[in-house]
Structure 1
Amino acid sequence: MPNIKSAKKRVRQTAKRRLRNKSYKTRVKNSIKKVLVAIESKEEKETINELLRNAFSVIDKAAKKGVIHKNNADRKKSRLTKRVKEYLGEEA
């Protein structure tokens, strides 16, 4: 346990931020998983595109908040788009 007042405050802040970041990261993982599950279960094109748009939104929000790095967000979006295009038979 820290003895200095500023260190105590820092512990409180990091605990609060860790929980917030965990929430965003979980939301990102779940949105990506929904798209991949839809591909596996051979859902319709419209459904998959809607899930993809939702996943992009969630990923962008996490990057904007600083939970994940911008390049990390771009990589996730790129890989997800690649998987969707492969499934839909479009040119990547």
Structure 2
Amino acid sequence: MIARDPAEYRAIPASDERFREDLLQEFFEFRKDARLHLRSMDSGLSIFRGEANAYQRTFTSATRWMRSLLLILIALHIIAIGLMIYLIAADS
């Protein structure tokens, strides 16, 4: 930033002052609109977060069911192999 000599400053005409006030007003309105827009985007993202949590719960539930089914399948195979060994041993 460049430091200026205070002697360089001059009196601002009324039209320039009005222009500056209008510019500041537009800037503050833009900033307010930007905040509202960001807030709405944040609420939209929280909806997506909620959906992601629902999918995660569903996936976790599905994983539990798959794990249970897999354990049941393994148990059935162990029983079948045990019966086959028993029948083979009983025939001998």
TM interval, shorter chain, is: 0.3 to 0.5
Using CA pairs below 8 Å that are at least 6 residues apart, which structure has the higher relative contact order? Answer: 1
TM-score, normalised via structure 1 length = 0.40
TM-score, normalised via structure 2 length = 0.40
Higher relative helix content? 2
